[in-house]
Chains A and B, each alone.
Chain A
């Protein structure tokens, strides 16, 4: 009896964990959208359009696995953006749009991100806690 119920318990536990995880993700997306005014889902797609994924490790973006720039896991929890300005949504947006205007020595290029896309990308990055 005990043997038989084990897989069932495991399945229930997994389902519960997955649901909680999904709720947690939904909560993180809502919080990020509120903090930044952007759309995290659109931002996630824009990351691949502008090529952020070719230089950074970004959780949730399958193609983002390069170490040219710093990995962006838990980027929302970091104190500074690029080590030069305080990590606020506004600073993150400006950095994404014109990194060289903030730090003239950075290797990160201006990739032509529009204001709306910068806000959406910031929104996605702010889901990464």
Chain B
């Protein structure tokens, strides 16, 4: 479960499986073509040497050459048609949308993080989070994509191919995970300075675990308990953090940065850039520009006391 999977060659769902099969077919055909070409080249060299030694000047007849060229063209076109057919059938299978019971998740790309919204007919049951996507194993999931700024691309190699997030356009992709696990995803379209630090994780878990997680995410933020945590909440709500971040259940209602209502429940910080531990969190809050130069988050030179209190409060947000 803790092993992060990030490989096209280790498919964990039907879509990735099909892509993997197509890859294997293409690979074997390419190997076959390579072997044939290598043998033909070797044969030509050997025959050329022999002809040279025996001082033969007459080559094969025109007829033989024409036949060979025609045969090569037919075989090559045949192989290309087979590949084209396989590619089209894979594409069609991947595009077939899942049954209505699918989980529907809206993904919005930002420079450089992922906004994730679980849709629901009841607005109060919608959930917004960031950079960590939970999905139930064995159930189709529809991702509806859009972008807030530039073109990004959503890619979880172990679960599916890439799908672009294009500003002003919406697109969709559906996938399914057949095995529980953590799958790493990555932006696959160069989107600026921190493109490489725009990762996310897909956590595939059983229906029960998924429902419990979603339910927990629907709740507003945990209340601070200790005096220090209460001071930390005040730092958050009255300071700069609240200008960009939202913590449901508090007056912090910013919408420029990721929602932090349950930030302590996530495994990573800053879109897969840092592990979510106390030390990393403190350093990230104070000086994000060194960790991820160019990120929209400005340095926040808090007083040492405020920093300690704020970190204590952020850890409450499970």
Contacts and interface: CB of A to CB of B under 8 A. Distances in A.
A35 interface: no
Contacts of A107: 282, 286, 302-304, 307-308
B165 interface: no
A110 interface: yes
Contact of A109 (B274, B275, B291, B308): B308
B274 A54 contact: yes
B278 A66 contact: no
Contacts of A105: 304-305
A122 to B, nearest CB: 16
B282 A54 contact: yes
A54 B283 CA distance: 5
Contacts of B275: 49, 51
A51 B279 contact: yes
A112 B284 CA distance: 17
Interface string B11-51: 00000000000000000000000000000000000000000
Interface in A77-129: 100, 105-107, 109-112
Nearest to B283: A54
B95 interface: no
A49 to B, nearest CB: 7
B178 interface: no
Interface residues on A, range: 10 to 19
A107 B278 CA distance: 13
B277 interface: yes
A106 B304 CA distance: 6
A65 B290 contact: yes
A54 B281 CA distance: 8
A55 B286 contact: yes
B266 to A, nearest CB: 15
Contacts of B281: 51
A55 B279 contact: yes
Contacts of B279: 50-52, 54-55, 109, 111
B280 A54 contact: yes
B316 to A, nearest CB: 15
B222 interface: no
A31 interface: no
B287 interface: yes
B290 A51 contact: no
A15 interface: no
Given A66-B290, A68-B287, A51 B308 contact: no
A51 B304 contact: no
B25 to A, nearest CB: 40
B308 A111 contact: no
A112 B282 CA distance: 13
B175 interface: no
B291 A66 contact: yes
A66 B277 contact: no
Contacts of B241: none
A68 B286 contact: yes
A50 B283 CA distance: 11
A67 interface: yes
Contacts of A106: 304
A50 B287 CA distance: 16
Contacts of A112: 277-278
B311 interface: yes
13 contacts: A50-B278, A51-B277, A51-B283, A54-B291, A55-B282, A67-B287, A105-B305, A107-B286, A107-B304, A107-B307, A109-B278, A109-B282, A111-B279
The 9 closest A-B pairs by CB, nearest first: A51-B279, A54-B283, A51-B280, A107-B304, A111-B279, A55-B283, A66-B290, A111-B278, A50-B279
Interface of B: 274-275, 277-284, 286-287, 290-291, 302-305, 307-308, 311
Given A54-B291, A107-B282, A109-B282, 17 more contacts: A50-B278, A50-B279, A51-B275, A51-B278, A51-B283, A54-B282, A55-B279, A55-B283, A55-B286, A66-B291, A105-B304, A106-B304, A107-B304, A107-B307, A109-B307, A112-B277, A112-B278
